[in-house]
Chains A and B, each alone.
Chain A
Amino acid sequence: MMQTTPRTLFAKLWDDHLIQPESESTPAVLYVDLHLVHEVTSPQAFSVLRERGLRVRRTDRTLATMDHSTPTTPRGLDGRIPVVDVQARAQLAQLEQNCADYGVPLFTLGSEHQGIVHVIGPELGFTQPGMTIVCGDSHTSTHGAFGALAFGIGTSEVAHVLATQCLLQRRALTMEVRMDGVLAPGVTAKDLILRLISEIGVGGATGHILEYTGSAIRALSMEERMTVCNMSIEAGARAGMIAPDETTFEYLAGRPHAPTGADWDVALARWRTFTADEGASHDRTVVLDANSIKPMITYGTNPGMGIAVDAPVPTPSQLSDASERRALEKALAYMALEPGEILLGKPVDVVFLGSCTNSRISDLRLAAAAMRGKRVASTVRMLVVPGSQEVKRQAEGEGLDEIFRAAGAEWREAGCSMCIAMNGDELAPGQYAVSTSNRNFEGRQGKGGRTFLASPLTAAATAIAGRIADARTIVGGR
């Protein structure tokens, strides 16, 4: 038998979906198994189909939902979620029209399975190991948690996939991120990924696909793995991946769109092959000691500007690189923070629990357990936004909504909400928020708003204290 070179997980998925290999003059033609669509990045792509008289090639591999510009305000007496923004209403109507015209399945606002695109794909069992998955959204990297090759694309590429079920791609490099050890009580998957990004920076993985390995990764639940893979893009990576294992298979079993019966056995045998071969080599390797990770929080205006929650904010004058110094000065000016300041104890105005990073049932359970019988500080507005209608129903079934409501938090409908601030949920200028979302860019949560990214536990602890709090104090870890 011919000796084959050991392959990375990425290489296996790449090879498996290659219709035409790349050459010097042409990129590879890569087949897409699942294309997720939402209202914001698809209208101009459907326009391309219309202009050229093209159809959607595989409506059975395409799935649309409404999440970005959708309000999360409670339903009216008619049971519908009111959309007051004229532009948002037109955009949502356009998606409905496009999906009707082209035969694309759509979960409309407030319907049974509607939710954030990266929450519903996995929870309905559409997302499976070994797949290529794309969406006009950078956080498509989330689905890599299942051992899928999943990445965000632009709207022109959305049109490419709609029309041909394929993409033109250059092969990426790979970076192994090995995390061994055990996360301390009060430390979550969110802290793990924030720590990684703080170490390698927001451009640290540009051009690479991350393959997460190690005992700390293996110990994570599927939802925690999604949190990690979700933010791979914040390090500049195209995608993040975790090889599937029993945790993955257990999560998938019984999901509405997962295979059943004999098909399940066939699929399972195939899925088990999606691991990196022994001896497969990566272009780069980063090693992180999970034991050393503390609850993390960002202080600046990109997700790489993160520190342990009890550490001082960095001091610009201590940076030797002029460009980095300037960036830090600008970030601290925007955030109205002092060099060396300790964020613990800093009052905040808003706490946001939600987004494709941290709006799944386990995130809500974690926060609810910390908030049971307690009150959100009177100076704080807390929004709890489930990632999908399914998560919302599940949370309500478990009484989590009652815990949040009793604490004085707002219990909202499913959507991206304050993570993207284009749906009515936003910070006022100058407000501080602790958010479980993924981006703290200037204005990301509303013009002039100031975001501290953190875990759901840190968010819950902060909501109660009214000030940035150490999650370890509420789980007895310290």
Chain B
Amino acid sequence: MEPFVTLHSTGVVLPLENVDTDQIIPARFLKTTDRLGLGTNLFADWRYDAAGAAKPEFVLNRPEAKTAQLLVAGKNFGCGSSREHAPWALLGYGFRAVVSSEFADIFRNNALGNGLLPIALPEPAVDRISALIAREPAARFTIDLVAQSFALPGGERFDFHVDPFARHCMLEGVDQLGYLANKEPEIAAFERTRAGVS
């Protein structure tokens, strides 16, 4: 996992609530056994027409979206299916952070575990950021995971909170499996106390 410390990027806005993981990456692309290569089909059914051509009106097909590493979306982002292919697809496209007023539980976990930062901000803050991007698509935002702050170009800041353990793992670029694997003695002891319990 690539460490995440700070991000300085433009943003794109998907002004929709309840964006489900079936939209982020449709199920027909889940027949892969790899975690790479999913970025091309991120939001496939909103992004491409029936012939496979990019729909110009979709936000990710606008020129300014090509280099944006920050996605701003409506509430309850990532609801539905538990597919980790969703954060893999977002990362594959080039996003490193998503802002929303609320994230679905499984998506948030999956994102954090892969170095995609879910930034939960109050709705008015999300609205302010969205409005700014609409006005100035070239506006660059600064995300600081150490300080847990999201800064607008003018210096205005919003604080956000990330689970301390997930934050530690993201800052260091380590995944959570190593930590769990070190718990082996405790796990074995626990199992001994539960002998005979199905």
Contacts and interface: CB of A to CB of B under 8 A. Distances in A.
B106 A153 contact: yes
Contacts of A358: none
B30 interface: yes
B166 to A, nearest CB: 8
Nearest to B26: A443
A47 B177 CA distance: 13
Given A54-B181, A203-B104, A444 B22 contact: yes
A31 to B, nearest CB: 6
Nearest to A443: B45
A33 to B, nearest CB: 7
B22 A443 contact: yes
Contact of B183 (A19, A41, A48, A154): A19
B114 A156 contact: yes
A259 B32 contact: no
A137 B83 CA distance: 7
**Secondary structure dominating the interface of B:** loop
B31 A157 contact: no
B110 A156 contact: yes
Interface stretch (A113-121, A165-173, A240-248, A337-345): A165-173
Contact of B180 (A94, A164, A172, A202): A164
A153 B74 CA distance: 23
Contact of A202 (B79, B114, B191): B79
Contacts, number: 185
Nearest to B34: A44
Interface stretch (A82-90, A185-193, A383-391): A82-90
Interface in B145-168: 163-165, 168
Given A25-B165, A128-B198, A302-B20, A323 B33 contact: no
A111 B29 CA distance: 26
A26 B175 CA distance: 14
Contacts of B17: 323-324, 327
A420 B20 CA distance: 14
B27 interface: yes
B186 interface: yes
B98 to A, nearest CB: 15
B18 A327 contact: yes
Most chain B beta carbons < 10 A, residue from A33, A302, A330: A302
Contacts of A429: 50
Interface string A408-424: 00000000000011100
Contacts of A422: 27-28, 30-31
Counting contact residues on chain B (CB < 8 A from A), the size range is 35 or more
Given A302-B20, A442-B45, A91 B31 contact: yes
A246 B24 CA distance: 43
A203 B82 contact: no
B16 A330 contact: yes
B163 A170 contact: yes
Most chain B beta carbons < 10 A, residue from A52, A90, A442: A442
Given A156-B113, A422-B28, A443-B22, A164 B165 contact: no
B142 interface: no
A163 B109 contact: no
Contacts of B82: 41, 136-138, 152-154
Nearest to B77: A203
Contact of B177 (A69, A138, A160, A259): A160
Contacts of B122: none
B105 A236 contact: yes
A439 interface: yes
Most chain B beta carbons < 10 A, residue from A40, A52, A152, A327: A40
B181 to A, nearest CB: 6
A354 interface: no
Contact of B22 (A137, A156, A270, A439): A439
Interface of A: 19-20, 24-27, 29, 31, 33, 40-41, 43-44, 47-48, 52, 54, 57, 68-69, 85, 87-88, 90-91, 94, 128, 131, 136-138, 152-157, 159-160, 163-168, 170, 172, 202-203, 206-207, 233-234, 236, 238, 259, 266-267, 270, 302, 304, 323-324, 326-327, 330, 420-422, 429, 439, 441-444, 447-448
Interface of B: 15-18, 20, 22-23, 26-28, 30-35, 45, 50, 74-76, 79-84, 102, 104-106, 109-110, 113-114, 163-165, 168, 175-177, 179-181, 183-184, 186-187, 190-191, 194, 196-198
18 contacts: A29-B187, A54-B181, A137-B81, A152-B82, A154-B84, A154-B106, A155-B35, A163-B177, A166-B180, A206-B102, A267-B198, A323-B17, A323-B75, A327-B74, A421-B28, A441-B23, A443-B23, A444-B27
- Would you list the 8 A-B pairs with minimal beta carbon distance, nearest first? A203-B76, A43-B33, A154-B110, A87-B31, A154-B84, A152-B82, A155-B84, A138-B82
Given A41-B83, A154-B109, 10 more contacts: A24-B164, A155-B84, A159-B177, A202-B79, A203-B79, A236-B76, A236-B105, A302-B20, A326-B15, A448-B50
